[in-house]
């Protein structure tokens, strides 16, 4: 489809002006990055899979009443989304210790946490997205106390939905990251889930084998990333019908 002006280019996605005011087109690239873009590669078919998977999760969230930016998928790599103002935070929800939490606290990866733990990083690539306490967020005006209460409630709802969906297909949701956007309806501001939800931003482990089915496969050189994402898509019944990812091998 004819695209509007490029608005923003990120590491894994590009945003273009949408057909109507207040809309954008989100294009999913095949680029994979890790460690604040120190490690880079092009992973054939990743963008197609993430476009589908993010559609699947956002539509599911929508159907259980969790507001988000997704409007509709346009083609293999593009989706129409609602334009919003991104709150400059990465909202991380953890059910099991892994990644930076395990490193920081010396807790073995895969240890069940006593309850879901939410943490926030300030979105700034130059600073390496530092972890920040809620007090900084409010003091620096990145979000208000009311926003933070709403963000925590949204994050927990996303966690319940995602954990349940994943459990249903034999996958443990270890942790994930979401981003939140502001939209205005007249004078009224609302917070919605934005960006993407995909194996790029979640940790997903097979319940039986513990096999990793997420971006750690790329970060830690554990195998073929497209195969891992294809497996997640296959289990969820979300497989593209043509395009690069359709032909890749499914791992069991």
CB of 186 to ligand UDP, least distance (A): 33
DSSP codes, 73-97: E-SSSEEEEE--EE-SEEEEEEEE-
Residue nearest to ligand UDP (CB): 99
CB of 247 to ligand UDP, least distance (A): 26
Residues 91-120 that bind ligand UDP (CB under 6 A): 92, 98-101
Question: 48 vs 174, which CB is nearer to ligand UDP?
Answer: 174
Helix (H) or strand (E) holding 158: helix 145-168
CB of 176 to ligand UDP, least distance (A): 5
User: What is the C-alpha separation between 167 and 70, in angstroms, rounded?
Assistant: 23
Identified binder of ligand UDP from the candidate list 30, 78, 90, 195, rule CB under 6 A: 90
Question: 60 vs 99, which CB is nearer to ligand UDP?
Answer: 99
Question: 18 vs 174, which CB is nearer to ligand UDP?
Answer: 174
As given in the structure block, the two tokens for residue 70 are 């997704």
Question: 81 vs 202, which CB is nearer to ligand UDP?
Answer: 202
Q: What contacts 237, CB < 8 A, 6 or more positions away?
A: none
String of contacts with ligand UDP for each residue 123-152, x by CB under 6 A: ------x-----------------------
Angle between helices 225-236 and 46-63 (to 10 degrees): 30
CB of 12 to ligand UDP, least distance (A): 10
229 touches ligand UDP by CB under 6 A:
no
3-state helix, strand, coil in the chain (%, to 5): 30, 35, 35
User: What is the C-alpha separation between 211 and 217, in angstroms, rounded?
Assistant: 9
Identified binder of ligand UDP from the candidate list 14, 163, 201, 226, rule CB under 6 A: 201
Query: Do the Cβ atoms of 251 and 227 come closer than 8 Å?
Result: yes
Query: Do the Cβ atoms of 215 and 198 come closer than 8 Å?
Result: no
Residues that bind ligand UDP (CB under 6 A): 90, 92, 98-101, 129, 175-177, 201-203, 215
């Amino acid at each position: 489809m004819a695209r509007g002006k490029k608005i923003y280019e990120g590491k894994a996605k590009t945003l273009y002006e949408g057909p109507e005011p207040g809309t954008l087109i989100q294009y999913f690239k095949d680029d994979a990055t890790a460690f604040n873009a120190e490690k880079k590669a092009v992973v054939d078919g990743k963008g197609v899979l993430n476009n589908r998977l993010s559609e699947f999760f956002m539509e599911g969230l929508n159907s259980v009443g969790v507001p988000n930016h997704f409007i509709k998928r346009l083609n293999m790599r593009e989706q129409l989304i609602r334009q919003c103002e991104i709150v400059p935070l990465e909202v991380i929800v953890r059910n099991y210790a892994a990644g930076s939490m395990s490193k920081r606290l010396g807790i073995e990866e895969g240890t069940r946490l006593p309850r879901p733990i939410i943490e926030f990083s300030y979105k700034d690539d130059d600073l390496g997205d530092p972890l920040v306490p809620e007090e900084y967020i409010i003091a620096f005006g990145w979000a208000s106390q009311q926003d933070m209460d709403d963000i925590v409630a949204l994050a927990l709802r996303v966690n319940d939905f995602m954990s349940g969906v994943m459990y249903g297909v034999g996958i443990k949701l270890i942790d994930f990251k979401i981003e939140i956007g502001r939209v205005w309806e007249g004078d009224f501001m609302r917070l919605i889930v934005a960006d993407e939800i995909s194996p790029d931003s979640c940790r997903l482990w097979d319940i039986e084998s513990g096999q990793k089915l997420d971006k750690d496969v790329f970060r830690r050189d554990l195998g073929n990333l497209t195969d891992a994402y294809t497996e997640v898509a296959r289990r969820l019944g979300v497989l593209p019908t043509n395009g690069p990812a359709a032909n890749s091998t499914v791992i069991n």
